[in-house]
Amino acid sequence: MPVEFEKEINVQTSNRGDYRTFIEKLRVKLGERFSHNRPALAIQENPPTRFFNLLIRTNDHFVRFRFRMDNLYLIGYQMESGQWLEFKNRTCVHLIQEQGTTFLRFGGNYNRLANVAGLNMEQITVGFYNLGYGINQLATSTAREIRARYLIVVIMMICESTRLIPILDYMATNFDNSHGTGSYDYNAENRNREGQIQPWITVLVRAWDSFSGALLRADAYPNESFQLRKNVVQLPPDNREIQTIAQAAEILGILLGHCFRPSGPGRFPRMTSDEGQCFLGLPLVEVFSVRIDNIDGEDPGQLYGTITVNDGLNIEYIYNRTSSNPESIKPGGADLFLVEVSWLRCEDCSVVGCGGGGGVCCACDGGGGITLVHWCLVGR
């Protein structure tokens, strides 16, 4: 499948303003509609059919990266030798169809990349010198740990900066070439002085999907009020929280392209396919409804316990109450758990400490790439 466009940047000759302008123009190029004055990506397709390239170079080397147009996922890159390398995927079918493309021996999620790099996310530094050095390494290196580390840098400084304004602001701050722009300036001292991938960044990355969905859902149903799902985003410098639709709109650089059924009670997003289902983007997990049907026959019942979902990057608490602080809930009250995900297995969900004698049941079903995980929490 041919790429729809290719853009180029020389990061060695670029300054902070050039980098910021490049990302902002990329948002405009990729936007196919608008919500709350923010561009939105094309509706996701499974399998994907639309791609674009970015040619990122220094004065010495270059690398061509390929991305999906519908969610900004990096799927692979071309070394300076012409060899295309692609992240492993579960279908083992190449999305990069150039002759000679080979699969990398690891996937493209942050957890896997960090493991291969032998680092945690907070040990990875990002900025002008790390990006330039990373391009030089990716152009020629065959070392797995080098590849994985600097692919994280590229994903953060290109994909996440395009998706989220606070991340672009942070990356631009670290795109500081004041310590020299020669190839010898890509030394360890300059790389290590740049900023690390801080915890608030990984938390915000995981919220991109749900924030995008909230804005588009509000557009689809303008006569109804919506609240953001509870999140733990706290933005520097003052730990600012994102609690409203308007606040979410302020931080989104481009939206994941959800779509919604035009009518009916089930307002699940969908994708452009014959089945009409939606392939969800990062973070791939969203709780749509919470209801308690029965708490050991009590009315009201005292509910407590912990439910977590591991999305591959971090653990998300969906419900968390201790036995010393139970919640009084009547049958049918707001608080069955319905989680719609595109990849989650039942074993990725865990429930701990449920009501001291209460029970938990989990059943998985679904099709077309969508799995429904139904949780029924019974407390006492």
Looking at residues 139-154, what average pLDDT do you find? 98
Q: pLDDT tens across 2-39, in order?
A: 899 999 999 999 999 999 999 999 999 999 999 999 99
Q: pLDDT tens across 172-200, in order?
A: 999 999 999 999 999 999 999 999 999 99
Measured CA to CA, the distance from residue 236 to residue 174 in angstroms comes to 15
Least-confidence region, from 169-173, 333-337, 338-342: 338-342
Higher-pLDDT residue of 266 and 137 is 137
Q: Examine the pLDDT at 72 and tell me if it is beyond 50.
A: yes
* AA letter at 269: P
CB 337 within 8 A of CB 377: yes
pLDDT-above-90 percentage for the chain: 59
Q: Examine the pLDDT at 376 and tell me if it is beyond 50.
A: no
If you ran DSSP here, which 8-state letter would residue 142 be given?
Answer: -
Q: What is the DSSP string of 230-247?
A: P---EETTTTEE--SHHH
Q: Examine the pLDDT at 204 and tell me if it is beyond 70.
A: yes
H or E element, residue 22: helix 16-30
Q: pLDDT tens across 46-62, in order?
A: 889 999 999 999 999 99
Q: Examine the pLDDT at 215 and tell me if it is beyond 80.
A: yes
In the block, tokens 């190029």 appear at 29
**In the chain, what are the domains?**
6-202 (3.40.420.10), 284-380 (no CATH)
In 3D space, the residue among 283, 207, 286, 189 whose CA is nearest the CA of residue 248 turns out to be 207
Looking at residues 347-367, what average pLDDT do you find? 38
Task: Give the predicted TM-score (pTM) of the model.
Answer: 0.72
The 10 Å Cβ neighbour count of residue 145 is: 13
Average pLDDT, the chain: 81
Q: pLDDT tens across 96-129, in order?
A: 999 999 999 999 999 999 999 999 999 999 999 9
Secondary structure (3-state) at 70? coil
Q: Examine the pLDDT at 366 and tell me if it is beyond 50.
A: no
Q: Examine the pLDDT at 316 and tell me if it is beyond 90.
A: no
Q: What is the pLDDT of residue 287?
A: 54
